[in-house]
Structure 1
Amino acid sequence: MYNKVIMIGNLTRDIELKYLPSGAAVAKSAIATSYKYKSGDGQQKEEVCFLDFNVFGKAAEILNQYTRKGSKVMLEGRLVLEQWTANDGTNRNRHTLRVDEFKFLDSKADSMGSGGNEYNQQPQQQMGYNQNNGGYQQQNNYQQQQPAQNNMNNMQSNQGGTYNPNNVPTIDIDEDEIPF
C-alpha cells in the first residue's frame, strides 16, 4: 500500500515547537486548504479542509523559524491515525499528517526571507532504469540534510546581483515560429 499526502495551504496557527527527552525537536500545527467549485444549481461553493501535522528533527526547527500563522506552505508526508484514551476514559482518534518534506510558498517579503526554499527531511531515493539488470533499480543517496533553494535564488547568487521581476528581457519572436 502507498500512503502519500501533498497539501498546499496556510498555517492556521503558529508552530508549537517542543523537544523530546532525547533532544529531538517536534513541531505541531495545522494547515487549511480549500477547494472551490460550482454546484449543480450553478452556485459557487467552497470546501475547507483542516489537518493537524507533525514535523520532527531539524525540519521542525526550520519550519518554526521561517513560518507563522497564515504562512503558505506545501507539506508532503503520510497520513497517520493517532489513538489515545481521553481523561474521561473514552477512546479517541484523529488523522494527522506526518511531514517528510515541505516547501515555503510565500514571497520573501511575506515569509521573512524564506520564499521558494524547500526542505527534505529524509534521504532522497532516485529511481532509474538499468538495462543491465533488466529492470528498475532503486538507489539511495544519503546526503546531509540541508535546505534546498529554488533556481531563482541560485541564479541570483551566481550572477552576484539581485532579482528584479520588472527587469525581464524581451524576446523577439515571430508568430510563425510559435508551434501552437
Structure 2
Amino acid sequence: MINNVVLVGRMTRDAELRYTPSNQAVATFSLAVNRNFKNQAGEREADFINCVIWRQQAENLANWAKKGTLIGITGRIQTRNYENQQGQRVYVTEVIADNFQILESRATRENNGGYSAGGNFGQQSQNNFSSTPNNNFGAPASQSTPNFGRDESPFGNTNPMDISDDDLPF
C-alpha cells in the first residue's frame, strides 16, 4: 500500500510550535496550494491543507519559515478522530510531513514582501552571489569562476513574456 504526499504551497500563517509532555516538538501549519485549473470566473482557487510536522523538523520550520513562505513538503495523509464536548465523533484528515524545504531565498521573500495573490512569476530575483575567483577544483587563479546567480535571464531578455494561461499546455 502507498500513502505518499508531495505538496508545494505557501504557508497561510506562522507554524504553531508546541511540545508534548515527553518534550517532543510538534508544529501545525497550513499550506495554500493552487489548483491546476481556473473556475468559471477565470480565477485560480486554492486548497488550504492542514499539516503537522514533528521533532527537529518542527523546530526548524517554526524558526525559518513564516507566513507566505513557499515551501515543499513530503509526507503522508492521516485521519484521526475524537469525540467533541457535544458527544459527536469528529474526523480530522491532515498531512503528516516528514520533511520540508524552503523553495525561495530569503532575499526573494523580502523583496516581494511575502505572498502576492497574483504570484511573482514576472519579477526578476536579485540574488547577488559572489563571482570572485576562489581557485576551487584545481582551476588556475587566472580563470574566473562562472556566475551561477539568477540575476541574468538565460534568454537574454529581462522583460517577462506575455503569455496567457490559456495558451499553456499544463
Note the 1:26-37 alignment, pairs <5 A. Answer: 26-37=26-37
The alignment status of 1:93 with 2:91, answered yes or no, reads yes
Unaligned 5+ segments in structure 1 are 113-154, 170-180
2:142 alignment partner in structure 1? none
The alignment status of 1:165 with 2:150, answered yes or no, reads yes
How far does the alpha carbon of each residue in 1:24-66 deviate from its partner, in whole angstroms, 9 at most, with x for none?
1000111110124256x7x624231111111100000000010
Give the secondary-structure state (helix, strand or coil) at the position aligned to 2:60: helix
Give 1:83's aligned amino acid: N
The answer (yes or no) to whether the contact 1:66–1:111 under 8 Å persists in 2 is no
Separation in 1 of the partners of 2:152 and 2:38? 39
Deviation of 1:167 (Å)? 6.8
Give aligned pairs, total: 125
1:19 alignment partner in structure 2? 19
Please report the TM-score for the alignment, with normalisation by the length of structure 1. 0.59
Separation in 2 of the partners of 1:168 and 1:45? 29
Separation in 2 of the partners of 1:9 and 1:22? 31
CA distance 1:29–1:88, shift in 2 (3 Å): same
Identity %: 27
Note the 1:16-165 alignment, pairs <5 A. Answer: 16-37=16-37, 44-110=42-108, 159=134, 164-165=149-150
The structure richer in strand per residue is 1
The answer (yes or no) to whether the contact 1:36–1:44 under 8 Å persists in 2 is no
Give the secondary-structure state (helix, strand or coil) at the position aligned to 2:7: strand
The answer (yes or no) to whether the contact 2:38–2:45 under 8 Å persists in 1 is no
Separation in 2 of the partners of 1:81 and 1:89? 19
The answer (yes or no) to whether the contact 1:36–1:45 under 8 Å persists in 2 is no
Give 2:27's aligned amino acid: A
How far does the alpha carbon of each residue in 1:119-170 deviate from its partner, in whole angstroms, 9 at most, with x for none?
xxxxxxxxxxxxxxxxxxxxxxxxxxxxxxxxxxxx99xx58996434799x
Alpha carbon RMSD of aligned pairs, Å?
3.1
